[in-house]
Structure 1
Amino acid sequence: MTDNESHGASPERSGGPAPRARRWLPRVLILVVVLGSLFFLPWWTLFSSNTDWPFPVVLVGTVVLATALLAFPALMYVGHGRRVDRAARAADTTLGVIWVLFAWSALGGLLRLALIGFGVGDPDRSRIVAVTVAVVAVVLLGWGHHEAMRVPRIRRLDITVPRLGQGLDGTRVVVLADTHYGPIDRAGWSARVAEAVNELDADVVCHAGDIADGTPDQRRAQSAPLGTIRSRLAKVYVTGNHEYFAEAQGWLDRMAELGWEPLHNRHLVVERGGDSLVLAGVDDVTAASSGLDGHQANLTGALAGADPELPVLLVAHQPKYVGQAASAGIDLQISGHTHGGQIWPFNFLVRLDQPVVHGLSRHGARTQLYTSRGTGFWGPPFRVFAPSEITLLTLRSA
């Protein structure tokens, strides 16, 4: 008996092809089921389900959806894996369109039940549902694209921070998050966002992460306008999860080059009217798994040396970090990440992963959390029932 035999060594135990296949097979099967469902339901609603359309209509619709289904994985891989912007734009747009069609095809079932109740039979019933779903989808996609590409509206909110000194009462904090400079060149949009921020006359400007999809060199033109943003006291930035897909340290360096303070698990203190406020920031919660030395969400390190009697504003990309913030007695956490769901009804899925989807919330005895819907968009160039925002938070003392 050989040594391998005596220890029962095999490709499975030694991490060979068999165990790797077993690890990946469930993921592939889930992907196939999810994609199949996303494309099948719109096809069934629009072209089958007793609609009895003429054969050429069914054929063209089937070919279009089947082609999109087969091309989508390749476009996603080339676009986001190989970073080919043209392929990424096609994949992202396909994803947005099919998600809207899927969601409203599902809701079309309610219309179908109503028509049954009114005694409407097929094929009229199925054709009414198909046309309604198609019209609603076209309208929402057109409107959603406009919402995604416009300069965000300003959302204004006063937040009372009990430990804030009177000298800091009225401090104006402008929040940007999830700009996601990416495959669609939005350098002009970025410049207009910077202009909108400057009109708000901010004391502090925070960028809560997910600055871009791509490297600093790829998105240099789109990020350049961030260097024109002005503030009286500080401009601070933390990494989001998407920075860890492409040169997180490079983005920290790029923001420093543009005149921002990267809060890479560190803090700074700002003063006004004789009172002080700690501005702290942590890396994204995914940083520890990135393999980059020194990158992890480290609140203890971020607050090291800070006066515990001073109020703390913490910038952390994901709302789910608020548990650690509340345990540490943070006064206010500012986050992004959720996009408010971006395309309804995805907000319900976001809620499974995050404690809050958007807005102001309280956690524990002291900690408040403001979650931005985000300034830009990720992937699909659509925002449906989840408007983007530039947020002006005015801090009030008790």
Structure 2
Amino acid sequence: MVIVSLVVVLVLAVFGALHWYLWRRLVRDTTARSGVSRRVGTVAFVAAPLLMFAAIAAEQTGAPFLLQQVLAWPGFLWMALTIYLLLALLVGEAVRPLLRRALDRRPAPAAEPADVREAASVPAGAPARDAEQPNETSTSTSTSTSAAVAEAGAEPTPVAAGPSRRLFVSRVVGGAAAVAAVGTVGYGTYGVLNGPKVKRVTVPLAKLPRSAHGYRIAVVSDIHLGPVLGRGFAQKVVDTINSTQPDLIAVVGDLVDGSVKDLGPAAAPLAQLTARHGSFFVTGNHEYFSGAEEWVERVRELGLRPLENARTELAHFDLAGVNDVAGEDEGQGPDFAKALGDRDRSRTCVLLAHQPVQIHDAVDHGVDLQLSGHTHGGQLWPGNFIADLANPTLAGLERYGDTQLYVSRGAGAWGPPTRVGAPSDITVVELASKQA
């Protein structure tokens, strides 16, 4: 308990320091000390992270769904925006001294020559003075004016000056960072909300009969229906899958982030999925955060067939599915022996398993092809580097001994409805017989 508390304190300290840095560069360094802009910016930098924590807490604690929806958009978008503001400002730290140096090299504006000023003040047709002759009248007048001002107790009006070079540089760097971050998050959010694109992959399998050559499986994972991605998004996913006219549909986990009560209507379009040999479903880790048993029954009602550590023998190959490893805490973890132990290994076997880390058990049980998701391809660059370390395959097709693993980047997004450097996809996996 003490260790957990220390970790929480450390995380909050780092998070606070990060936001102080963002506030300093984007608000304090670019605004007047007592100006309205600084006050507004400070309030925004306090409210935004509070909204983010509130959005996460509301989802995790099962708060009223309307409250989750209200908090989710600003809270989760700020999560993404923070990442790219930080990255852009760090780049700005390198640019800042270069910009200052460039401004310092600029020559100061030349002073206007005295004779030009005099000429401008002489009425047309008046005789010009000798340039070397002192302007006694002007000097006398100036002295008299200064004395009058002094006697009146007034101060001369200062000449208006523009922002200092330091302030100018801060505004240029901060403004560029803000534009880059908002543009990146905006484009990444548009990509998610616009729906996943279709990706096509051909996978040759040694034991696949010639009659199954060209068999197409539509693989979709990580839809993440929740407070942000709702029924409209589910309909886009279903329409995209159906447009590929697959022979079989595989939904490989993380369908939802929430209860059947809140998200049952959002998942309703799944009943429209159409494939010659049906639609199949396996659990992901987020199902176990959302009531896995209820969701398994719900997808069954929608016409999908759950494969809970189970196998079905199709005409040309075996299709098996195992529960996600997150189910172990509820006594519902993956059971490869139950799903694959007594099968005929001379037949091709395709396994649905949410997480790529399950590939090692798949290899041990003679699986020919494992279809997975979970990684989101990293979702938000540079998160792909972290996700790559945590998973044997980040995205795409790879071989492990005699077993091949295909990992989809997923159709939706968790947390921020945003993807950067990892576009969403629905993959049509076309099986190829080496006998064809």
Question: What TM-score results when the alignment is normalised by the length of structure 1?
Answer: 0.86
User: How far apart, CA to CA, are the structure 2 residues paired with 1:96 and 1:362?
Assistant: 36
CA contact under 8 A between 1:92 and 1:379: conserved in structure 2? Answer: no
Q: What does residue 416 of structure 2 align with?
A: 380
After TM superposition, give the deviation of residue 348 of structure 1 in Å: 1.9
Larger deviation: 86-95 or 171-180? 86-95
Q: Aligned in 2, Cα 1:106/1:201: closer, same or farther, shift over 3 Å?
A: closer
Q: Aligned in 2, Cα 1:98/1:366: closer, same or farther, shift over 3 Å?
A: same
After TM superposition, give the deviation of residue 69 of structure 1 in Å: 2.7
Q: Aligned in 2, Cα 1:127/1:346: closer, same or farther, shift over 3 Å?
A: same
After TM superposition, give the deviation of residue 345 of structure 1 in Å: 1.9
Q: Aligned in 2, Cα 1:79/1:47: closer, same or farther, shift over 3 Å?
A: same
Ranges in structure 1 where 5+ consecutive residues have no aligned partner: 1-19
Write the deviation string for residues 201-244 of structure 1: whole angstroms up to 9, x where unpaired. Answer: 11111000011111223212111111111111231110000110
1:217 alignment partner, SS class: helix
User: How far apart, CA to CA, are the structure 1 residues paired with 2:17 and 2:219?
Assistant: 37
CA contact under 8 A between 1:45 and 1:105: conserved in structure 2? Answer: no
Structure 1 residue 161 corresponds to structure 2 residue 205: yes
Q: What does residue 217 of structure 2 align with?
A: 173
Write the deviation string for residues 102-136 of structure 1: whole angstroms up to 9, x where unpaired. Answer: 33423432333234235246233322221111101
Partner residue of 1:85 out of 59, 65, 85 = 65
Structure 1 residue 328 corresponds to structure 2 residue 309: no
Q: Aligned in 2, Cα 1:151/1:281: closer, same or farther, shift over 3 Å?
A: same
Larger deviation: 162-171 or 178-187? 178-187
Q: What does residue 100 of structure 1 align with?
A: 81
Structure 1 residue 27 corresponds to structure 2 residue 7: yes
CA contact under 8 A between 2:260 and 2:294: conserved in structure 1? Answer: yes
Q: What does residue 65 of structure 1 align with?
A: 45
Ranges in structure 2 where 5+ consecutive residues have no aligned partner: 103-164
After TM superposition, give the deviation of residue 100 of structure 1 in Å: 2.9
Write the deviation string for residues 315-358 of structure 1: whole angstroms up to 9, x where unpaired. Answer: 11111111222232321111111112222222222223212221
Q: What does residue 334 of structure 2 align with?
A: 297
Q: RMSD across aligned C-alpha pairs, in angstroms?
A: 2.1
Partner residue of 1:239 out of 250, 272, 283 = 283
User: How far apart, CA to CA, are the structure 1 residues paired with 2:74 and 2:383?
Assistant: 16
- Superposed counterparts of 1:1-398, under 5 Å: 20=1, 22-48=2-28, 50-51=29-30, 53=32, 55-89=35-69, 90-91=71-72, 93-117=74-98, 119-120=101-102, 122-184=166-228, 186-271=230-315, 276-289=316-329, 291=330, 293=331, 295-363=332-400, 365-398=401-434
CA contact under 8 A between 1:173 and 1:202: conserved in structure 2? Answer: yes
Write the deviation string for residues 1-33 of structure 1: whole angstroms up to 9, x where unpaired. Answer: xxxxxxxxxxxxxxxxxxx4x243123213313
Q: What does residue 11 of structure 1 align with?
A: none
User: How far apart, CA to CA, are the structure 1 residues paired with 2:40 and 2:27?
Assistant: 10
User: How far apart, CA to CA, are the structure 1 residues paired with 2:377 and 2:208?
Assistant: 29
Q: Aligned in 2, Cα 1:38/1:341: closer, same or farther, shift over 3 Å?
A: farther
Write the deviation string for residues 234-269 of structure 1: whole angstroms up to 9, x where unpaired. Answer: 311100001101210111111111221111001111
State which structure, 1 or 2, has the greater radius of gyration over its C-alpha atoms: 2
Q: Aligned in 2, Cα 1:307/1:380: closer, same or farther, shift over 3 Å?
A: same
User: How far apart, CA to CA, are the structure 2 residues paired with 1:83 and 1:245?
Assistant: 14
Query: Post-superposition, which runs of at least 4 consecutive aligned residues in structure 1 deviate over 6 A?
Result: none
CA contact under 8 A between 2:253 and 2:373: conserved in structure 1? Answer: yes
User: How far apart, CA to CA, are the structure 2 residues paired with 1:141 and 1:79?
Assistant: 22
Equivalent residue pairs, number: 369
CA contact under 8 A between 1:238 and 1:315: conserved in structure 2? Answer: yes
2:46 alignment partner, SS class: helix
2:412 alignment partner, SS class: coil
Output the amino acid matched with 1:80: Q
